[in-house]
């Protein structure tokens, strides 16, 4: 039986661990935290992410928890439209999923062939010729035919195998929260939840997780929002952070103030947005009879402005699982690198272009951006949507 060690029990790590286990692999999943638990926020999945989850055999579970996310357009802080809402073809419409629901689906997909070990901080990686690849935590050595580094933006495995890559700030921080339906405000019909509002270095996006009253044993519902602001994360406690958000977004179009007022400070999750510059020169490293691959944020951490982080992680997992069904190790490791590096570079490049548009500051620059946004933003979004829609898992 072939064996794999997956480092990191995030979305991508659990997805690939479950896929390998269902293909007959013996899998050890290592997580440095003492418990595996997700943020109580949500994630947007574009068609490529949905297609990847279906290729991984998780489509049925996704259908039960996903909510379609129509185009809500883009407004200025004064309420004027920068980009009017547009109809979105069903095949290009993203969905929004509560992270805890998605986590539950991935946990259910692990099966009995996955050994989950928590509290393991990987400190070393071995890629010596003639020996099986391995990782160690200073006390134990975990060796297998394949090692998958899904250990996030600050991956220790990537640091050792791709030292040319650095983690840098994207110049902004993000706050996320889900207002559960029992606490969510009842909004009038002329205040749609879906939509994006864009100011000078500030952005607010909101979406509904299902319809009010649809939450149940297999689905968590509510209103999901994300706020981003230029600058570093705030050191204050959540109550003060939420008060700052209310001040920064005061006077912005409804229902932003209403949503912030209805948010429990304990539900707000703050994150400094970081990315990799440059991207690693390789995503696959052969070692003995197998090798090591980089997956998810460990390979291509990027700003969230096009919502492709989780989608690319699921693409990575589906690509790796498909190659391992069709190819022998270490050929699959080499093929994975060949397929994933240009794909990731394309999506990162488009995300950075959108990031430059969204983070525009200064009066003259803002006027130029707002005047051109009706053309620039749809073009960038359509390019990204086309690239996402065109991706197919390896057959």
**CATH, residue 264:** 3.30.9.30
Max distance between CA atoms of the chain, in angstroms, equals 67
Structural domain contains residue 352:
yes
Last residue of a domain, one of 255, 274, 293: 274
- Predicted model pTM: 0.94
pLDDT band with cut points at 50, 70 and 90 for residue 364: very low
Distance in angstroms (rounded) separating the CA atoms of residues 10 and 310? 10
Same domain, 102 and 214: no
The structure tokens 């509560």 sit at 98
Query: CA 120 from chain center: how many Å?
Result: 23
Question: At 362, is the pLDDT very low, low, confident or very high (cuts 50, 70, 90)?
Answer: low
- Backbone phi, then psi, for 37, in 5-degree steps? -145, 140
Three-class SS state of 150: coil
Question: Do 144 and 51 lie in a common domain?
Answer: yes
Domain check: are 313 and 178 in the same one? no
Q: Note whether residue 216 is domain-resident.
A: yes
Among 274, 301, 323, the domain-final residue is 274
Residues 217 and 157 occupy one common structural domain: no
Tens of pLDDT, residues 74-88 = 899 999 998 889 888
Q: Are residues 263 and 124 in the same domain?
A: no
Q: Are both 10 and 145 inside the same structural domain?
A: yes
pLDDT tens digits for 316-353? Answer: 999 999 999 999 999 999 999 999 999 999 999 888 87
79 belongs to a structural domain: no
Name the DSSP class of 29. E
Instruction: List the domain range (segments joined by +) for residue 265.
Output: 170-274
- Domain harbouring 46, CATH code: 3.50.50.60
176 and 116 in a single domain? The answer is no
pLDDT in the model for residue 92: 83
Same-domain check for residues 25 and 105: yes
282 and 341 co-located in one domain = yes
Say yes or no: 286 and 234 in one domain: no
Least confident of 248-252, 308-312, 391-395: 391-395
Q: Which of 149-163, 203-217, 376-390 has the highest mean pLDDT?
A: 149-163
Question: 89 pLDDT exceeds 60?
Answer: yes
* 78 within domain boundaries: no
* Residues 172-186, mean pLDDT to the nearest whole number: 96
Question: What pLDDT score does 11 carry?
Answer: 98
Does a structural domain hold residue 83? no
Determine the pLDDT at residue 214. Answer: 66
Is there a single domain that holds both residue 151 and residue 15? Answer: yes
Would the pLDDT of 373 be above 90?
no
Instruction: Reply yes or no on whether the pLDDT at 217 is more than 60.
Output: no
Contact 318/12 with Cβ under 8 angstroms?
A: no
| Helix boundaries (H) for 138-295 | 156-161, 238-248, 256-262
> Which of these three, 251, 274, 297, is where a domain ends?
274
Closest CA to 370 of 81, 121, 128, 28: 81
Query: How many structural domains is the chain composed of?
Result: 2
Please tell me what DSSP assigns to residue 381.
Answer: H
Q: What is the pLDDT of residues 243-293, one digit of tens each?
A: 999 999 999 999 999 999 999 999 999 999 999 999 999 999 999 999 999
Asked if residue 285 belongs to a domain, the reply is yes
Reported as a single tens digit per residue, the pLDDT across 97-128 is 999 999 999 999 998 889 999 999 999 999 99
């Amino acid at each position: 039986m072939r064996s794999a060690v997956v480092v990191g029990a995030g979305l991508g790590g659990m997805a690939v661990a479950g896929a390998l286990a269902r293909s007959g692999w013996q899998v050890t999943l290592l997580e440095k935290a003492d418990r595996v638990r997700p943020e109580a926020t949500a994630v947007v999945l574009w068609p490529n992410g949905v297609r990847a989850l279906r290729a991984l055999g998780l489509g049925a579970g996704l259908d039960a928890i996903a909510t379609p996310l129509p185009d809500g357009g883009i407004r200025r802080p004064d309420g004027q439209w920068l980009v009017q809402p547009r109809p979105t073809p069903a095949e290009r419409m993203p969905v929004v999923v509560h992270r805890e629901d998605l986590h539950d689906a991935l946990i259910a997909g692990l099966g009995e062939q996955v050994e989950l070990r928590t509290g393991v901080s990987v400190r070393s990686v071995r890629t010596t010729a003639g020996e099986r690849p391995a990782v160690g935590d200073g006390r134990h050595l975990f060796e297998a035919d394949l090692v998958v580094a899904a250990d996030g933006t600050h991956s220790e495995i990537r640091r050792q195998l791709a030292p040319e890559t650095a983690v840098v700030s994207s110049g902004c921080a993000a706050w996320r929260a889900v207002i559960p339906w029992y606490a969510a405000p009842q909004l009038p019909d002329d205040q749609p939840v879906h939509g994006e509002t864009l100011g000078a270095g500030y952005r607010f996006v909101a979406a509904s997780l299902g319809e009010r009253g649809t939450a149940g044993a297999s689905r968590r519902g509510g209103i999901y929002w994300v706020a981003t602001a230029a600058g570093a994360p705030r050191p204050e406690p959540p109550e003060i952070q939420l008060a700052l958000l209310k001040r920064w977004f005061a006077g912005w179009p409804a229902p932003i103030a209403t949503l912030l007022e209805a948010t429990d400070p304990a539900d707000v999750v703050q994150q400094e947005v970081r990315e990799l510059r440059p991207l690693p020169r390789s995503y696959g490293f052969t070692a003995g009879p197998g090798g090591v691959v980089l997956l998810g944020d460990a390979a291509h951490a990027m700003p969230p402005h096009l919502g492709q982080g989780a989608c690319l992680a699921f693409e990575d997992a589906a690509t790796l699982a498909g190659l391992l069904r069709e190819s022998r190790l270490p050929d699959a490791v080499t093929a994975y690198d060949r397929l994933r590096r240009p794909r990731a570079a394309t999506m990162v490049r488009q995300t950075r272009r959108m990031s430059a548009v969204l983070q525009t500051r200064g009066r003259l620059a803002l006027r130029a951006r707002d005047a051109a946004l009706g053309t620039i933003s749809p073009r960038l979004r359509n390019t990204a949507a086309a690239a996402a829609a065109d991706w197919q898992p390896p057959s």
